[in-house]
Chains A and B, each alone.
Chain A
Amino acid sequence: MFYRENGQFKTSYKSDQQIFPIPQDRWAIFAIIAFAFFAIPFMVDEYLFRAILIPFLILSLAALGVNILVGYCGQITLGAGAFMAVGAYAAYNFLIRVSGMPALGAILLGGFTAAAVGIVFGIPSLRVRGLYLAVATLAAQFFWDWAFLRVKWFTNDASSGSVSVADIDVFGWIVNTPTDKYLFCLGTLVVFSFMAKNLVRGNMGRQWMAIRDMDVAATVIGIRPLYAKLSAFAVSSFYLGVAGALWGMINLGSWEPAAFSIDRSFQLLFMVIIGGLGAIAGSFFGAAFIVILPIFLNQILPVIGGLFGLEVSIALVSHVEIMIFGALIVFFLIVEPHGIARLWSTGREKLRLWPFPH
C-alpha cells in the first residue's frame, strides 16, 4: 500500500537513472544512514561497539570488495585475507616510515598498494578459470602470510612479530573512543558503498557482469577481458586493503599476520555467498550474519546446556559452535542458494502488491 511506485512518473533521464529510482527506497536508505550516524551512538554501550558494530562495519567493507570480484566479475577468490593484510601492513609502513603522513592518507595508500598487488595476483585469471583460479588465489594468501611473518622489514623489525599503531588522527579528530571509531568506520563505509553502487551500475560494472555471465561472449562483443578482469581485481583489492587497514589500525590496534589468515578469507567468502552474490546489500546482510552468529551461539549454548542440567565446558562450546556454524551455513545454502539479498528482494516484490496480491 505504501511501497508502490504507481503514479510516480519519471519525466527526465536524470530522474530515471538516479541511484535509487524509487523514492521510498531513497528515503529508507537516508533514514537508515541518519539513524546510524545520529541515534546509535547514544543508544548502545561500549561492548556492543567493540564486539559487533565496528567489526560489522569493517567486514562489510571487505565483503563489498569480495562481492565486486566474486559476485560481479565472477572470479572466485580464496585470497581475500591476503589483500587485507597487504593493506594493513602497507598503511602501517606508510604511517611510520613517512614523517608527517596523515592517517587517512596512509589508509588510502594502503588501499592503493593492495590494488597494485591485486593486479599482479589477478594476472593468472586471464588464463585460468573457475575452481582452478580459486586455488591459484590461495598462492597470494600463503605468500603474504609467509612474507609478513618472515620478512622483518614489513614489521619494522618488531621482535614479537606484531605491530601496533597509536590512535589515529583525522584532521585533528583523535579517533580513540569506541564511538569515534564507530563513526569513522561508518563514514568510510557509507562513502565506499555509494562508490561501489555507482561503479557496478556504470560502464565498468557492466563489463564485469558481462565477463561473469560468459567471458567468451563478452569478448566477442568487444569487452577486453584483460581490462575488465584486472580492474575488478584492482577495485576489489583496494576495498580489501582499506578494510584491512581499518581492521588493523582501528579495530585491533596491534596485530599479527594471523589476523588475516586463510580463515579470514573463507569468512569473507561465506559473507558474500550467504549475503548474496552480485548484490551490494548482500554484503551487509552477510557480514551481519557472520559477525553476529558466533557471538550469539557463544552466549546461547551455555544457557541451553543449563536447561538440560549439563555443565558445558568452554572447549565443548567452541566445538559445538563451529559445528552449528557449519550446519547453519549448509542449511542456508540449501534453502536459499542465492543468499539473503534474494530473500530481501522477494520480500520487496511481495510488499509492492500488499495488501491486494491479486
Chain B
Amino acid sequence: MAFFLETLLGGLMSGMLYSLVALGFVLIFKASGVFNFAQGAMVLFAALSMARFSEWIPQWLGIDNLFMANVLAFAVSILVMFAVAWLVERLVLRHLVNQEGATLLMATLGIAYVLDGVGQTVFGSGIYKIDVGMPKEPVMMLESVFEGGILINKEDFVAAFISALLVVALSIFFQKTSTGRALRAVADDHQAAQSIGIPLNRIWVIVWCVAGITALVAGVIWGSKLGAQFSLSTVALRALPVVILGGLTSVPGAIIGGLIIGVGEKLSEVYLGPYVGGGIEIWFAYMLALVFLLFRPQGLFGEKIIDRV
C-alpha cells in the first residue's frame, strides 16, 4: 500500500510537470488556433538561456551572489523569450493567417528547428547545470501511518507547488485583467474580437510571451532536474497526450490531463512494465489518451465539436 501511494504521488508530481508544458500548448492554441510544436524547443531554449546566463552574468558583472545571478538570469531569459515571441509573430504567424491547421503545424516545426539550431549555436550544445537552490534530498512522510513511510523527493514537491502557483497566476491573469479578457475574446471568435477593436497581432505577441514564460518555468524546473540539454526538447512529445486528453482548448484540462497521464504512466511502468519488457511509459501515455478520445473526441474538457454542412 505504501509503495502504491508512493508511485501514485510520484505520478501526480511528474504529471504537474507535464501540465506545465501542456499549458503552453493550450494557451497558444486557444488564442490563435496554432498547434505549437515548437513548445518543446522553447522549453529547451529557455532552459539553455537560463543556464548560460546564470553562468555568464556573474563573470561579466563580477557578482558573487548565487541568488542575484539567478534572478538576473531569469529576468534576461524572460526578455529573450519575449524577443522570440515577437519575432515569431512578426516573421511567421502574421504571414500565415487563415492557413490550414496542417500548414501552421509544419510552420511551428520549422520554428522548432530554428530555435534548436540558434539555441545550440549561441548557448552551446553541452549539458549545463541550472542551480536555483532546489532542495535535492528526499523526505519521509506518513511514517506513523505506514511502516517505513513514503519516500518523496522534495524537489518534485517544490516543482509541483511552483506549477500550481503558475496555474493560479495564469487563471487570475485570464479572468481578472483586461488583457486576459481580450485574450479570451480572441480565443472565442477572431473576427468578433477584431470588430470590437482588439488588435489581433498584439494579442498573439502577448500569448506567445505568456507561453514563453511558462516554457521558461518548465525549462528551469526540468533543467534543474535533468540538466539543460538537447533531450529537453522531447519533453514536448511527452506533453502531447496530456494536451489531447484534457482538450486542446482547456486550461483546467491541461492540469487534470497532466495528472491522469502522470499517474497512468508511473503505475503502468511499475505494475505492467516488467511483464512486457519495460520502457512502456511513452506509448502507454498515448494509448491512454487514445482510449479517452474514443469516448470524448474533443478531450475531457475541450469544446464540443459541432458539425455543420
Q: Which residues of A contact B (CB under 8 A)?
A: 70, 76, 124, 127-132, 134-136, 138-139, 142-143, 145-146, 149-151, 214, 216-217, 220, 262, 266, 269-270, 273, 277, 315-316, 319-330, 333-334, 337
Contact = CB atoms under 8 A, between A and B. Distances in A.
Contacts, number: 144
Interface in B110-166: 110-118, 120-121, 125
Contact of B109 (A138, A270, A327): A270
B1 interface: no
Contacts of B110: 326-330, 333
Contact of B106 (A216, A316, A321, A329): A329
B306 to A, nearest CB: 10
Contacts of A143: 283, 286-287
B194 to A, nearest CB: 21
B268 interface: no
A142 B289 CA distance: 13
B117 A132 contact: no
A243 to B, nearest CB: 20
B282 interface: yes
B24 interface: no
A323 B114 contact: yes
B99 interface: yes
Contacts of B241: 135
Contacts of A145: 283
B106 A273 contact: yes
Contacts of B278: 150
A326 B243 contact: no
Contacts of B115: 326
Given A321-B117, A330-B111, A131 B307 contact: no
A146 B96 CA distance: 36
Interface of B: 35, 91-92, 95-96, 99-103, 105-107, 109-118, 120-121, 125, 237, 240-241, 243-244, 248, 276-280, 282-283, 286-287, 289-290, 293-294, 297-299, 305, 307-309
Contact of B294 (A124, A262, A322, A328): A124
A142 B282 contact: yes
A179 B286 CA distance: 42
Contact of B297 (A127, A139, A216, A321): A127
A322 B309 contact: no
Contacts of B282: 142, 146
A326 B244 contact: no
What are the 9 tightest A-B residue pairs by CB atom distance, in nearest-first order? A326-B113, A323-B117, A139-B286, A329-B110, A142-B283, A326-B114, A330-B110, A150-B277, A143-B283
23 contacts: A76-B102, A124-B294, A132-B298, A134-B102, A135-B243, A135-B289, A136-B286, A136-B290, A138-B237, A139-B286, A145-B283, A146-B280, A150-B279, A269-B106, A273-B106, A323-B113, A325-B113, A326-B113, A327-B110, A329-B106, A330-B114, A334-B107, A337-B103
B107 A320 contact: no
Main secondary structure of the interface of B (DSSP, over half): helix
B290 A326 contact: no
A262 B236 CA distance: 13
Given A139-B286, A143-B283, A315 B106 contact: no
A149 B282 CA distance: 13
Given A76-B102, A322-B113, A330-B110, A132 B121 contact: no
A123 to B, nearest CB: 9
B240 A333 contact: no
Contacts of B106: 269-270, 273, 329, 333
B92 A326 contact: no
A323 B121 contact: yes
B105 A131 contact: yes
A134 B103 contact: no
Contacts of A324: 117
Nearest to B288: A139
A326 B111 contact: yes
A220 B309 contact: yes
A347 to B, nearest CB: 21
